[in-house]
Amino acid sequence: MSDFTSNFWSIYVSAISIGGIVFCVFLLWFSSKLKMSTASDNTTGHVWDEDLAEMNNPLPRWWLWLFILTIVFAVVYWLAYPGMGTFKGTLGWTSQGQYEAEVAKANADLAPIYAAFDAQDPEKLSGDPKAMAVGERLFMNNCAQCHGSDARGSKGFPNLTDKDWLHGGTPDKIKETIVKGRNGVMPPMAAAVGTPEDIRNVSHYVLSLSGSPHDSVKAALGKPKFAACAACHGPEGGGMHAMGAPNLTDKVWLHGWGEEAIVAMINNGKQNMMPAQEGRLTASQIHVLTAYVWGLSNNPIAAKTK
């Protein structure tokens, strides 16, 4: 890891770059001073194909000046840009600065388009085909990597096309999630539930809450032990939006279904994180994206874009 945090590579690249230029200068100087012994007809004595003789003529002037110009260009480039170790260059250019400038320009160019969307609430905006086309591109560029291009998610990543919401599915809650991100944590609950047998009984009780296949005897034994889980999931297992606790009475299983999956969840807990988009997207982009995500499960126009 030290290879990536030390300045060795900066020094290494700088040394090679300087060495290359110095060698080029030396080569030009040396070739101008070197005098080769030639015959009276200015040939070196090397002949190919019987009559093709090697001459000892100097380099063409245009080629020589082009060589010198490349050396001058390299020196000017080093002075202007950060090409020499930790030297930042006289222009103060950075790739991050260029990226931010390009993003700012793009946002300024797109501002008139978003201005027409800002005045509409997300519910109404989700019915605007033009806004949803923009929202789809925002989703594909920023959200599809986790939630999928069809927004149906996968194991560990919520499906955004149904009405099952960990933190609530109102436009305000969706916008809050996009802006601030989410850090969902379920702590290991094995010690609170009891023995391994108790944990398996609780898993069957959890399965029973949604009418999933289960052992009714084990479920009955696990019901009293579920009290350790009720603080977050509620006494009836209906979940709690304020804590992001899933509803256990439906058949939506974010991290896997079945006895073994539930036992593993109780024993090991789980931590999920959605990164905040604040700072990456503008307020107008978040507004359109909120309308798009809300519309996936509430408005056929947004859903139709998928």
Q: Which fold has domain 120-181+275-304?
A: Cytochrome Bc1 Complex; Chain D, domain 2 (1.10.760)
pLDDT digits (tens, 9 = 90+) for 106-135: 889 988 989 989 989 999 999 999 999 999
280 close to 100: Cβ distance less than 8 angstroms: no
Tell me, what amino acid is at 174?
Answer: I
Residues ≥6 apart with Cβ < 8 Å to 92: none
Residues ≥6 apart with Cβ < 8 Å to 239: 166, 233, 245, 246, 247, 248, 249
Please report, for the chain, the start and end positions of each structural domain, with discontinuous segments joined by +: 2-80, 120-181+275-304, 185-274
Neighbour-count burial of 144, counting CB atoms closer than 10 A to its CB (0-12 exposed, 13-18 middle, 19+ buried) = middle
Tokens of 186: 């379920």
Tokens of 205: 């009780």
What pTM was estimated for this model as a whole? 0.73
3.40.640.10, 1.10.760.10, 1.10.20.10, 1.20.1260.10: which CATH number matches 185-274?
1.10.760.10
Alpha-carbon torsion (190, 195, 196, 197), positive or negative? negative
**Domain 120-181+275-304 shares a fold with domain 185-274:** yes
Helix ranges restricted to H, the chain: 2-5, 8-33, 61-80, 95-118, 122-125, 129-142, 144-147, 171-180, 190-193, 196-209, 216-222, 230-233, 259-268, 283-298, 300-304
pLDDT digits (tens, 9 = 90+) for 36-95: 666 677 777 788 888 788 877 777 889 889 989 999 999 999 899 987 877 888 999 999
